Structures are given as structure tokens and as C-alpha cells.
Amino acid sequence: MEEQIGQALREARKAQGISLRSLAADTGISASLLSQVENGKSYPSVETLYMLVSRLGVSLDDLLGLKVRAPATGDETEGEQRLPASAGDTGRPGLLIQRAADTPALTMDSGVRWERLASFDDGLVEALLVTYPSGASGSAEGALMRHSGMEFAYLLEGSLTLILEFDRYEIAAGDSFCFDSTRPHLYVNHGLETARGLWYVVGRNAPEHARDRLADLVAQMGVGVEAADAVRSLGGKGVE
């Protein structure tokens, strides 16, 4: 899978006419490390991966080669079963079932593991099962990261330290949290047990039509015009 990620990053870079050295300079990583990542010889950190995908404007599905095509009629393709919407509900996506044995996964340099959960290819939501082994961190150097979108998470087991700007929060199993992902942040597992949780990143790479769809849903829920406007602004600003 790491070779596939590296190949996808290289293809995205070349498709945009960006040189390896230029991308390395833009993201603050060395050209040699970027070359190793693209050739599948080195695992990126969470921080490095987010910087690369934000600069290239690609999603996790893009990297894993899981772009969703037109809804199928029940046939299974690449471990996913896509079923059409129910009668009278053709304006909404159909059902997508991702089989456990076919869940795409990516392991970072520190052992942090992302498992991509079933989600529609509208760029609106990235759904992940995330694992942080004991001692693992999203950044080997302890640098905080930020990216567009909003982050929602629920910790299933273990514990994590969330560093959000200048504050630290201890997250235990059963805790849930959310924040604006443009705020500098970092996760570290200082515990002795593996930490595992569900993560949903909303709007990190969402196209305008997807943000409008979510904003309309938010407005229909009666949460207010300000909330709907905030949703529409998601995905419009990458890592700085």
C-alpha cells in the first residue's frame, strides 16, 4: 500500500507540472525524503502526508485509488458493494458496503495506521479508523499540523494527548471531540496501551457543490445561517 501511496503522490505532482524539489521546498521536507516516499522506500509521517495532499489538492481516496464511479447494480468491485438508492429516492447516493477484508490501510513511519472506512466520493467526508501505538505521534519532530476542514473523533480504546495550539487535552476511551482543523494540532500516545478511534474529517478537500449540499442540510436542521455559511467555507483554505 505504501508503494501505491507514493506512486499516487508522484502522479499527482507530475500531473500538475510540479518538480520534486519544488514540492519539497513548498512543504518543508527534504527532496531526498520526498523521493523515498514517492518510491515506496519510506513511510511518511501524518504531518508529512497532510502537507503533501494539501499542497497537491488530493484526497485519501485519490491516494488509495478508490475513486467511486457511477453506482453499480449490486455487483462487488474492489471489495465494495454499491447499491442504487431506493425507489423514489434517486436524488441521493445509494448504499455502499465495504467488506472488512478489503479495507484499505496505510501505516505511517511512527506506526500510526489509517484504515479508510466506507464513504462516498464527493470529497465531503474522509472516514478513518485510526490507530496510535504506544509512544506514537503524528509528527516525529513534534511539529503541529493543520489542514482545512473540521475534525470529529471518538476514541474507542486507549488514551491520547491532543495538543491544540497552546493547550493540551487528555482524551480517554469513550471521549469524543471536534475542532476546526486549521488550528495547529497534534496527537501523541503517551500511554502504554494502543489507542484506536474513529475519525471523520469534514470538508478537507470538498468541492463547492458538496459543501453547498452539507450547508443546505445544516440549514434544514435549524442550526442557523451562520453555521451553514461556515460549512460552505470548508475546504477553501489549505495548510499554510
Residue 122 has pLDDT above 70, yes or no: no
What are 196-216's pLDDT values in tens digits? 999 998 877 655 544 455 555
Per-residue burial over 16-34, b if 16 or more Cβ lie within 10 Å, else e, is: eeeeeeebbeebebeeebb
The full set of domains in the chain, from first to last, is 2-64 (1.10.260.40), 101-202 (2.60.120.10)
Q: Name the burial class of residue 208, with classes exposed (0-12), middle (13-18) and buried (19+) by CB atoms within 10 angstroms of its CB.
A: exposed
Residues of the chain above pLDDT 70, percent: 68
pLDDT at 129: 95
Sheet holding 185-188, edge to edge: 167-172, 159-164, 185-188
Specify the higher pLDDT residue, 225 or 12: 12
DSSP string spanning 136-158? -BS-TT---B--SSEEEEEEEES
Out of 57-66, 120-129, 181-190, give the one with best mean pLDDT.
Answer: 181-190
What value does the mean pLDDT of the chain take?
76
Specify the higher pLDDT residue, 133 or 141: 133
pLDDT at 7: 82
Residues of the chain above pLDDT 90, percent: 28
No. of helices (H) and no. of strands (E), the chain: 7, 12
CA dist 203 and 122 (Å) reads 10
For residues 105-134, give the mean pLDDT: 85
> 136 pLDDT band (50/70/90 cuts)?
very high
> 184 pLDDT band (50/70/90 cuts)?
very high
- Listed in order, strand segments (DSSP E) in the chain are 76-77, 80-83, 95-98, 105-107, 113-116, 125-132, 150-157, 159-164, 167-172, 176-180, 185-188, 195-202
CA dist 197 and 187 (Å) reads 12
Looking up cell 491516494 gives 63
